[in-house]
Homo-oligomer: A and B are copies of this chain.
């Protein structure tokens, strides 16, 4: 099991003893998802928090008219999960889908709850991770309200510079909330 990256990710926020590290690692399960395979699906209860070792995935929903809408993309060194479902134990509201071969480490919510009690430092780590993700999502709301699609695309290219080459144009358009045709015209205009 490749645990270097997850231990480095954790070490950014908290210090663990060797014993604590071993206990944490004993809770992890290694999984590989193929391109287009689902890590979790709308309607299913999401019971795991997932750390991406390699690869890339997208979190999206499908509206009543069958259109997809993308919440975010995540790649190496990111944590993903349908947090609503994880917290409430109710059916999930998101699909999380691999966009290429994606190797992950998963921890079950039940094990995470025990981990919080046994090593409260993990409360701190997930508080900080959630705060950062929350701020990021606040920004996304404000960009949607106040910026043009072109301005949002500029921010997108910076935010996702590491994985933008992996993302089909259609997926970027879905993230920005514009049609692929509008996105294509917008890109042509900005390149001219």
CB of A141 within 8 A of CB of B145, answer no
Instruction: Known A127-B123, A127-B130, A131-B130; judge A144-B177 contact (CB<8 A).
Output: yes
Please report the C-alpha to C-alpha distance between residue A20 and residue B121 in the assembled complex, in whole angstroms: 19
Does residue A132 face the partner (Cβ distance < 8 Å to B)?
Answer: yes
Instruction: Considering the complex, give the chain B residue whose CB is closest to the CB of A83.
Output: B135
Does residue A182 face the partner (Cβ distance < 8 Å to B)?
Answer: no
Instruction: Known A84-B135, A126-B127, A134-B130; judge A144-B146 contact (CB<8 A).
Output: no
Please report the C-alpha to C-alpha distance between residue A119 and residue B137 in the assembled complex, in whole angstroms: 29
Please report the C-alpha to C-alpha distance between residue A93 and residue B146 in the assembled complex, in whole angstroms: 13
CB of B146 within 8 A of CB of A69, answer yes
CB of A120 within 8 A of CB of B130, answer no
The smallest beta-carbon distance between A80 and chain B, in angstroms, is 12
Please report the C-alpha to C-alpha distance between residue A138 and residue B133 in the assembled complex, in whole angstroms: 10
Q: How many copies, total?
A: 2
Does residue A63 face the partner (Cβ distance < 8 Å to B)?
Answer: yes
Instruction: Note all chain B residues with C-beta closer than 8 A to A116.
Output: 124
CB of A138 within 8 A of CB of B177, answer no
The smallest beta-carbon distance between A57 and chain B, in angstroms, is 16
Does residue A140 face the partner (Cβ distance < 8 Å to B)?
Answer: yes
Query: Which positions 107-130 of chain A face chain B at CB distance < 8 Å?
Result: 116, 120-121, 123-124, 126-127, 130
Does residue A1 face the partner (Cβ distance < 8 Å to B)?
Answer: no
CB of B126 within 8 A of CB of A87, answer no
Does residue A71 face the partner (Cβ distance < 8 Å to B)?
Answer: yes
Please report the C-alpha to C-alpha distance between residue A93 and residue B136 in the assembled complex, in whole angstroms: 12
CB of B132 within 8 A of CB of A87, answer yes
CB of A63 within 8 A of CB of B146, answer yes
Instruction: Note all chain B residues with C-beta closer than 8 A to A63.
Output: 146-147
